[in-house]
Amino acid sequence: MRQFRLFFRKEMLEMGRSYKWLWVPLVFLMLGVMQPIVTRFMPEILKSAGNMPKGMTITMEPPSGAEVMAQTLSQYNSVGLLILVLSLMTMISGERQSGVSQMIFSKPVSFVSYTAAKWMSMLSLITVSFVLGYAGAWYYTAQMIGPVDAAAAVKAGLFYLLWMWFAGSLTLLVSSLLNPAAGIAFVSLGAALLLSLMYGMIPEYLAWSPGALPQLAITFLQREGGDTGKAGALAISILCMAVFFAGAVSMVKYKKSKI
Amino acid sequence: MTPLLQVDGLTKRFKERTVVKGISFSVAEGSCAALLGPNGAGKTTTISMLAGLLQPTEGSIQLRVGGKPVLDRRPYIGYLPQMPVFYPWMSGKEFLNYAGELAGLTTREAALKTGEWLEAVGLGADGQRKIGGYSGGMKQRLGLAQALIHRPKLLILDEPVSALDPAGRKDVLSLLQRIRRETTVLFSTHVLHDAEEICDEILMIKAGEIALQGNLEHIRREYSEPVIRMEVGGEKASQDWLASVGNKAFVLQAEIAGTRAELTVADVEQASHELMEDAVAHHVIFRKFESGQSTLEDLFMKVVQA
Amino acid sequence: MSTDIPWNLIAPLIVIQLILAVVGLISLYKAASTRGPKWLWVIIILCGNLLGSVAYFVIGRKDAS
């Protein structure tokens, strides 16, 4: 437990000194706030673009608050996920690559504590960033577009947060397996996108897949039904995270250094 | 003396290549052993297995503390890798403190020891600076401090001075001189001179096998041939005497040129006694009289090139 | 303009962008080395808005050395 605290403190310090604690939450906030603003000013933007053929009028149904929130979540699923993976990819591989792990692992340290500290700090960064961004999106939507149902928004947010946790866990697992940063980013991002894409194509077969989480979150906001398998997807995702963690611990133990 | 470290049949295979081929040796408590060999002999691989970073393919490594082998060696060893890498964003002081606490010191002990070791390795004034700005020599000294902060029984160093400039090398070697009085030291090097400077035991390793091992003095005596080199005055008495020394019974081989001679003898002490007495009797004037050995360097080259 | 712009809502965005750019420049100034030349990163951070700063933090910074 003491070692976990030491490792966790080090991770936090590192994230602070590399400005991760500043730029990741701020970028998430920007992403969240952008969508309502862009939606609100879209008609003006299109008008001032000015190269519309004469006589063409834009008829746009003003979207509801819930719809804008759903669009924000889709934003997070592309740019947000990318930022997340890029900021986490070297968390485990970096120390192995640089060689600092040689000194750490020749000391009587627990591999579980070491990996768990990385996991916890990853979850904290994701949670703070996403909650900040999502709250920002909610506030701006309420101010500029219209009210959002609170219960739906909270439920959607929680499901989406779990999806981000899942993606973060996946990234750390890949980081424990591979060395090159580009490879880690490619594999983690690819796998996460593939999962959510596959659910989009054959939802009936993958109702319990973690890839269902972002879609489930969006359905909460849109109230369109078809949201079966919530509990299953939830359970499977948490199980997957546990398996990823166990896998990463044994990889950290097995690949102590790059020699 | 009881061995602190006992290594038996240690082997490491990477796919098809066997890098370490069943080496066995022991390191006695309180001694300083050098793992000596050319680049690519398997030194780093061996050291990494001893430090617990690599799993041996075969063989056993035993560390005995208080006469009993321990299950987990890590609390009792200090390890300094070949090119120590730190967190560049930490200060030297922060890293030492972190290393101390990870090694099991309490927060107070760690803080205390951090201050002591920063001073001991000459980084007292640089403790607050970020490691990213340290020179190679400073990193090596910080690496030594982190390896020693928990008072390990055995200090394992991988090429501790190879990458340093002469000044940094001297710093680290004199530090090691001091440390070896308190801790058993095992270090790898490809420079014989470094081994001779601080060690009493050497293990010469070549292509993954031990070529020669034992006490440094012992090896020096056993494998080196005694040589006497002398130079005498230019007058006739001395020159005549020098020309005749080649015929003495104890001289195995003589090279005489003008006023100089180099004699390979069976026993350097006996030979020098008899030569001196004979020389006094013949009123010989010495300019130089030197008894010595063919050097370890010669032996090392012979082993490496064999 | 048919609608008045709610500056009190837009202003925080500009502030965030500024913070990111300033912190990026500070970190760039302090860094011993970066991936790619420093002057290029100065231009990217100053001209690239949000993306410029993010690109610097993700790609430009060398965390371990």
pLDDT tens for each residue of B131-165: 988 988 899 999 999 999 999 999 999 999 888 88
Cα B117 to Cα B183: distance, rounded to the nearest angstrom: 15
Cα B208 to Cα B13: distance, rounded to the nearest angstrom: 11
Query: Are B187 and B236 contained in the same domain?
Result: no
Across chain B, what does the average pLDDT equal?
88
Query: Are B203 and B157 contained in the same domain?
Result: yes
- The domain of A46 spans 1-257
Name the 3-class secondary structure at B189.
strand
Q: What is the CATH classification number for the domain harbouring B234?
A: 3.30.70.100
Q: What token pair was written down for B30?
A: 């309180």
Q: What is the CATH classification number for the domain harbouring B15?
A: 3.40.50.300
- The domain of B276 spans 225-305
* pLDDT, greater one: B228 or A257: B228
The pLDDT score that the predictor gives to residue A203 is 83
Residue B261 in any domain: the answer is yes
The pLDDT score that the predictor gives to residue B218 is 85
Residue A14 has its nearest CB partner, among B75, B87, B102, at B87
The pLDDT score that the predictor gives to residue C2 is 46
| Counted domains in chain B | 2
Query: Are B231 and B215 contained in the same domain?
Result: no
Instruction: Check CB contact of B133 with chain C, cutoff 8 Å.
Output: yes
Query: Are B156 and B77 contained in the same domain?
Result: yes
Cα A26 to Cα A45: distance, rounded to the nearest angstrom: 25
The pLDDT score that the predictor gives to residue C65 is 37
Q: Rounded to the nearest 10 degrees, how much is the dihedral formed by the CA atoms of B266, B272, B275, B277?
A: -140
Q: Confidence band (pLDDT; 50, 70, 90) for C63?
A: low
Residues 163-222 of A with CB under 8 A from C: none
Q: What is the number of alpha carbons within 13 Å of residue C28 lying toward its C-beta?
A: 27
Question: What pTM does this model have?
Answer: 0.85
Give me the sign of the Cα torsion angle A110, A112, A118, A120.
negative
Q: B77 and B156 in contact (C-beta within 8 Å)? A: yes
Q: Which of B187, B221, B255 finishes a domain?
A: B221
How far away is chain A from the Cα of B72, in angstroms, using its nearest Cα? 8
Cα A236 to Cα A210: distance, rounded to the nearest angstrom: 7
Q: Which of B169, B215, B28, B156 is nearest to B204 (CA)?
A: B215
Mutation pick from C34, C62, C65 vs chain B, by most beta carbons of B within 10 Å, is C65
Q: Confidence band (pLDDT; 50, 70, 90) for B285?
A: confident
- Could you state, in chain order, the average pLDDT of each consecutive group of 10 residues for chain A (259 residues)? 94 93 94 89 73 61 84 90 93 92 94 97 97 95 89 92 96 95 94 91 84 88 67 91 96 82
Over residues B260-283, the mean pLDDT reads: 84
Q: Which of A130, A133, A188 is nearest to A159 (CA)?
A: A130
Q: What token pair was written down for A198?
A: 């596959």
Long-range contacts (CB closer than 8 Å, 24 or more residues apart) made by C18-26: C19/A22, C19/A26, C20/A22, C20/A23, C20/A26, C20/A27, C20/C50, C20/C53, C20/C54, C21/C45, C21/C46, C21/C52, C21/C53, C23/A19, C23/A22, C23/A23, C23/C53, C24/A23, C24/C52, C24/C53, C24/C56, C24/C57
Strand order in the sheet with B209-215: B77-80, B154-158, B184-189, B32-36, B201-206, B209-215
| Counted domains in chain A | 1
Residue A259 has its nearest CB partner, among B44, B80, B150, at B44
For the segment C6-52, what is each residue's pLDDT rounded down to a tens digit? 788 888 888 999 999 999 999 888 887 788 888 888 998 888 878 88
Query: Are B181 and B69 contained in the same domain?
Result: yes
Query: Are B289 and B166 contained in the same domain?
Result: no
The pLDDT score that the predictor gives to residue C64 is 43
Across chain C, what does the average pLDDT equal?
82
Q: Is the pLDDT of residue B1 over 70?
A: no
Cα A121 to Cα A11: distance, rounded to the nearest angstrom: 7
Q: Confidence band (pLDDT; 50, 70, 90) for B305?
A: confident
Q: B87 and B122 in contact (C-beta within 8 Å)? A: no
